[in-house]
Copies of this chain bind each other. A is one copy, B any other.
Amino acid sequence: MSTISEVKQKALLAKQAAALTSQVTTEQKNEALIAMADALIANADDIIAANAIDLETGRNNGTSESLLDRLALNHARIEGIAEGLRQIVALEDPVGEQLAQFTRPNGLSITQIRVPLGVIGMIYEARPNVTVDATGLCLKTGNTVVLRGGSAAIASNRKIVEIMRSALSSTALPADAIQLIEDSDRASVNEMLKANGLLDVVIPRGGASLIRTVVENATVPVIETGAGICHTFVDESAQLQMAKDIALNAKAQRPSVCNSMETLLVHQAFADKHLTELLAPMQEANVEIRGCERTQALIATAKQATEADYATEYNDYILNVRIVDDLEQALQHIAKYGTMHSECIVTENEQNAAKFLQSIDAAAVYHNASTRFTDGFEFGFGAEIGISTQKLHARGPMGLPALTSTKYMITGNGQIRG
Contacts and interface: CB of A to CB of B under 8 A. Distances in A.
Interface in A316-356: 335, 353
A75 interface: no
Nearest to A418: B253
A104 interface: yes
A366 B253 contact: no
Contacts of A410: 364-367, 369, 373
B245 A366 contact: no
A115 B407 contact: no
Given A215-B196, A246-B416, A379-B110, A368 B221 contact: no
A64 interface: no
A70 interface: no
A359 B23 contact: yes
Q: How many copies does the complex hold?
A: 2
A219 B396 CA distance: 20
Contact of A395 (B102, B368, B405): B405
A393 interface: yes
A93 interface: no
A412 B368 contact: yes
A144 to B, nearest CB: 13
A96 to B, nearest CB: 9
A221 B409 contact: no
Nearest to A370: B416
B372 A417 contact: yes
Interface in A221-239: 221-223, 239
Contacts of A416: 245-246, 248-249, 253, 369-370, 372
Nearest to A259: B417
A406 B219 CA distance: 24
A364 B201 CA distance: 20
A358 interface: yes
B372 A117 contact: no
A19 interface: yes
Interface string A16-58: 0001001100000000000000000000000000000000000
A118 interface: yes
Contacts of A223: 392
A2 interface: no
A285 to B, nearest CB: 13
Nearest to A223: B392
Contact of A365 (B221, B409, B414): B409
Interface of A: 19, 22-23, 102, 104, 108, 110, 115, 117-118, 196, 200-201, 215-216, 219, 221-223, 239, 242, 245-246, 248-249, 253, 335, 353, 357-359, 361-370, 372-374, 378-380, 390-393, 395-396, 405-417
* Nearest 5 interchain pairs by C-beta: A369-B412, A249-B416, A391-B405, A372-B417, A393-B393
